[in-house]
Structure 1
Amino acid sequence: MNFVRLVVFGFLFLSVVYICVSLYSRSVRREKLEVEWEETRPEGIHRDAFVKEGMKEYETGLRKRLILLVYIIPLIAVGAIIYFVN
């Protein structure tokens, strides 16, 4: 029963961490896109369209997928600890 409790609360905790890291990463990327637009001022491209297109690229990029390691690394660590202790 304690193991089930560990899994449930661990998953909830990691979900909160994932959401926080994901929101932070999106805000940093959006800010970088806004600064990039300010520096380059591309002709004929509105700021909102530039940021929106950049965020579409972010959604399919590697960084977004790497944030999923928030779930994988603790799972591997706990599994290794359980394996080596037993």
Structure 2
Amino acid sequence: MIVAIRFLIPLLIILTVVYVGLSLYSRLMRRRKLIAHWEKKGMTGDRDAFIARGLKKYDSSFRKKLLLGVYVVPLGAIALLIYITNFK
């Protein structure tokens, strides 16, 4: 059990760093797309408000939730391997 904890704590730290990095990168790319859309369409008005609304929609989108797969896939694979090793 101690071996599993010694393995899982660093893994969770690494996965958290990867998740934060991907989350920041994805948000930056969404912001760039919103700016490009604003400039391409030649829109008028408050550009910052347009970007803020777009990022607010992004924060509640399914794409943002897919980033949680960074935790689910590796931990699920480890759980599956442990199950197969011990009970098959």
Alignment correspondent of 2:23:
22
Alignment correspondent of 2:55:
55
Tell me how far 1:37 sits from its aligned partner.
0.2
Tell me how far 1:41 sits from its aligned partner.
2.1
1: CA distance, partners of 2:70 / 2:36: 28
- Matched residue SS, 1:42: coil
- Matched residue SS, 2:43: coil
Runs of 4+ in 1 over 2 A off after TM superposition: none
- 2:50 equivalent to 1:46: no
User: Per-residue CA shift, 1:45-64, capped at 9, x if unaligned?
Assistant: 22111111100100111111
2: CA distance, partners of 1:57 / 1:42: 19
% identical aligned pairs: 41
TM-score, with structure 1 as normaliser: 0.92
1: CA distance, partners of 2:9 / 2:75: 12
RMSD (Å), alpha carbons = 1.0
2: CA distance, partners of 1:39 / 1:49: 17
User: Per-residue CA shift, 1:4-24, capped at 9, x if unaligned?
Assistant: 111111110100000000001
- 2:17 equivalent to 1:13: no
Tell me how far 1:42 sits from its aligned partner.
2.2
* Number of positions where the alignment pairs a residue of Structure 1 with one of Structure 2: 85
2: CA distance, partners of 1:37 / 1:46: 10
TM-score, with structure 2 as normaliser: 0.90
Instruction: Flag structure 2 segments of 5+ consecutive residues without an equivalent.
Output: none
